[in-house]
């Protein structure tokens, strides 16, 4: 697959040498680029593992037989596909190439499915399968070609240099199907958006959201963190729900769906973390979105199925609220959250499953509120 190119040798932890199909100067630049942008969340918060060094992956792979997977956000797939279409490379295009180079050199698998589900459910499954085929050709392209684009030595991929499309496990996937947590994420984002448009104070908005979560018996920690960072007085609102106050209300809904896919991506990665021991796979979250990494890293301290998850979530939200709201308002919001959680813990239906009919009705009602808003 890799063909002939400038290569370097890496001393492995075992007695032997590993061929690396990218020249050493390019690899060093790629690693520095990625570290500078901090585009990976590894799940190794307290371990001595550098996710920006190819040697770290190779050492684990050949010494401990560790299997690594890079879970790609859609923003990486879009930039890589854009290069194939002839787009002039921006910094983000080059960063996407750098991510792809490290994944290939590290001999890791790449998981692009959440981004493809986003395309498949929003446009068509056919388009998602076509994008998958393009990505697999890029994935089979010699990494030196991508490294040259990442480092600025080249500005395009010659179609003759693209690898052959390969068949991966996603080929039979139904990209029109809705992945786990999507509906809950979308409903939460719709509710957050309607509250942002409401004539309420920031504290009133968040308290109303907690009441709404309690009513639905659905407390999803990433959704609550996202809501807090959006509704708090010092929040940076512009980057979350794009076009929320646009005259084109379809554009507003598209921005909300985009935020919901971000949450779905985080949930998928959290599932990877919980399944790590059973699957034997260590999954690296790769994204160009700093906000996404910020929420994911906060979630690394808590797992919904962990033995001490309630205590962990309480500490997680305490830090989150006090940081965002200050000691006085933050304490009020935190107390309200803890009170709703206490009522939930004793509710006779606390573990009920939300039906598709219920979530569909919630979505329709909230979408109608968004559509009725007059900018």
**Domain residue extents for the chain:** 12-161, 182-264+298-372
The pLDDT of 269-292, averaged and rounded, is 90
* Interhelix angle 143-150/24-37, nearest 10 degrees: 60
**Other Cβ atoms closer than 10 A to 342:** 10
Which residue shows structure tokens 């965002």? 324
State pLDDT tens for residues 36-82: 999 999 876 656 789 999 999 998 888 888 899 999 999 999 999 99
Distance in angstroms (rounded) separating the CA atoms of residues 305 and 287: 25
Distance in angstroms (rounded) separating the CA atoms of residues 283 and 108: 9
Lowest-confidence pick of 260-264, 273-277, 292-296: 273-277
Q: What is the pTM of this model?
A: 0.87
Note whether 236 and 218 are within 8 A (CB). no
59 vs 308: which has the higher pLDDT: 59
Distance in angstroms (rounded) separating the CA atoms of residues 9 and 218: 52
Q: How many alpha carbons lie under 13 Å from residue 37 in its C-beta half-sphere?
A: 19
């Amino acid at each position: 697959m890799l063909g002939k190119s400038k290569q370097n040798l890496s001393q492995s932890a075992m007695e032997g040498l590993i061929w690396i199909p990218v020249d050493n100067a390019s690899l060093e630049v790629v690693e520095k680029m990625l570290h500078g942008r901090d585009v990976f969340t590894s799940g190794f918060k307290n371990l001595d593992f550098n996710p920006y060094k190819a040697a770290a992956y190779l050492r684990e792979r050949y010494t401990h037989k560790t299997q690594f997977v890079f879970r790609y956000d859609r923003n990486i797939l879009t930039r890589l596909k854009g290069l194939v279409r002839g787009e002039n490379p921006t910094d983000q295009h080059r960063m996407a190439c750098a991510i792809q180079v490290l994944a290939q050199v590290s001999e890791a698998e790449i998981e692009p499915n959440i981004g493809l589900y986003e395309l498949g459910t929003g446009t068509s499954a056919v388009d998602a399968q076509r994008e998958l085929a393009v990505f697999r050709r890029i994935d089979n392209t010699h990494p030196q070609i991508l490294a040259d684009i990442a480092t600025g030595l080249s500005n395009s991929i010659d179609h003759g240099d693209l690898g052959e499309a390969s068949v991966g496990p996603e080929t039979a996937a139904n990209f029109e199907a809705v992945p786990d947590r999507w509906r809950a994420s979308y409903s939460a984002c719709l509710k957050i958006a309607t509250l942002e448009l409401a004539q309420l104070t920031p504290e009133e908005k968040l308290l109303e959201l907690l009441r709404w979560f309690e009513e639905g018996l659905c407390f999803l920690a990433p959704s609550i963190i996202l809501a807090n960072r959006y509704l708090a007085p010092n929040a940076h609102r512009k980057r979350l729900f794009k076009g929320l106050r646009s005259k084109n209300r379809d554009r507003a809904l598209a921005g909300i769906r985009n935020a919901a896919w971000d949450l779905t991506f985080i949930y998928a990665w959290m599932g990877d973390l919980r399944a790590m021991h059973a699957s034997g796979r260590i999954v690296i979250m790769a994204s160009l979105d700093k906000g996404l990494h910020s929420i994911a890293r906060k979630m690394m301290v808590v797992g919904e199925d962990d033995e001490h998850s309630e205590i962990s979530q309480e500490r997680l939200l305490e830090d989150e609220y006090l940081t965002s709201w200050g000691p006085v308002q933050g304490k009020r919001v935190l107390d309200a959250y803890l009170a709703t959680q206490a009522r939930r813990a004793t509710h006779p239906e606390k573990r009920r499953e939300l039906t598709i009919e219920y979530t569909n009705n919630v979505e329709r009602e909230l979408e109608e509120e968004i559509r009725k808003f007059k900018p």
